Amino acid sequence: MLEIFYPDTRCASSYQIPYEEYYRQGIRGVIFDIDNTLVMHGAPATPEAAALFEKLRGIGLNTCLISNNSAERVAPFAEAVGSPFMSKAGKPSRRGYMEAMRLMGTNAESTLFVGDQLFTDIWGANRCGIRTVLVNPIHPREEIQIVLKRFLEKPVLAAYERKKRRTERS
C-alpha cells in the first residue's frame, strides 16, 4: 500500500546522481522538480544548476522541469538552465509528467524523475511508471505545509528503508 510512495532509489543530492550510468541503461530524458531539489525553495538558478543541465545535454539527455509553482517562479529558472518546463503541473497528477515526456520525446521506460517529496513528486512519477530518484531536500528550513508533509513522510520513508534492507538481505 505504501509502495506507491516509494522511490526506486535515494541519492543525497541531484548533483551526485550517476546520470551517465542512467544513460547507459537507456534513460534519455530527466524530469526535475525545482524547489529543494535543484535549489533552495524559491531561489534563482545557481551556476551549479546551470552547469548540471549543460552536463546532461553533453551526455545526450533531454530535460524538463515540472513544478507546482507559478510560471513567474519557474520560467526564469528554466531560462537560466536552458530547459523546457511546466509550471502549475498539479503533481501528483499525471498530466505534467506526460507532457514532459511528450516534450522530451521519451516514454516511461526511457525517463527518470528526480524530486524531493514523496506525496507529490514520487507518487506522481510512480503513477506514470517512471523510474524515480528521491533526493534530500536542499533547505532544512521549509514552509509550514512542507514541514507537515515531511512529518508525514517519515513513517513512509522508514517503511521503505526496512523493505530495502529486507530485499538486500534476501
Tell me the three cell numbers of residue 88: 502549475
Q: Which stretch binds Mg ion (CB under 5 A): 15-23, 34-42, 139-147, 148-156?
A: 34-42
For Mg ion, the binding residue among 116, 128, 146, 160 (CB under 5 A) is: 116
Contact flag: residue 142 with Mg ion (CB under 5 A): no
User: From the CB of 111, what's the least distance to Mg ion, in Å?
Assistant: 18
For Mg ion, the binding residue among 5, 6, 33, 77 (CB under 5 A) is: 33
Beta bridge mates, 142? none
User: From the CB of 57, what's the least distance to Mg ion, in Å?
Assistant: 23
Contact flag: residue 153 with Mg ion (CB under 5 A): no
Contact flag: residue 36 with Mg ion (CB under 5 A): yes
> What CA dihedral angle connects 80, 53, 83 and 59, to 10 degrees?
150
Tell me the three cell numbers of residue 50: 546551470
Tell me the three cell numbers of residue 106: 521519451
Residues 51-80 that bind Mg ion (CB under 5 A): none
Angle at 159 between CA 100 and CA 133, to 5 degrees: 25
Tell me the three cell numbers of residue 27: 534513460
Tell me the three cell numbers of residue 34: 525545482
How many whole angstroms separate alpha carbon 86 and alpha carbon 99? Answer: 8
For Mg ion, the binding residue among 35, 89, 103, 135 (CB under 5 A) is: 35
Residue number, 35 or 153, with CB nearest to Mg ion = 35
The residues that touch Mg ion, with contacts defined as CB under 5 A, are: 33, 35-37, 116
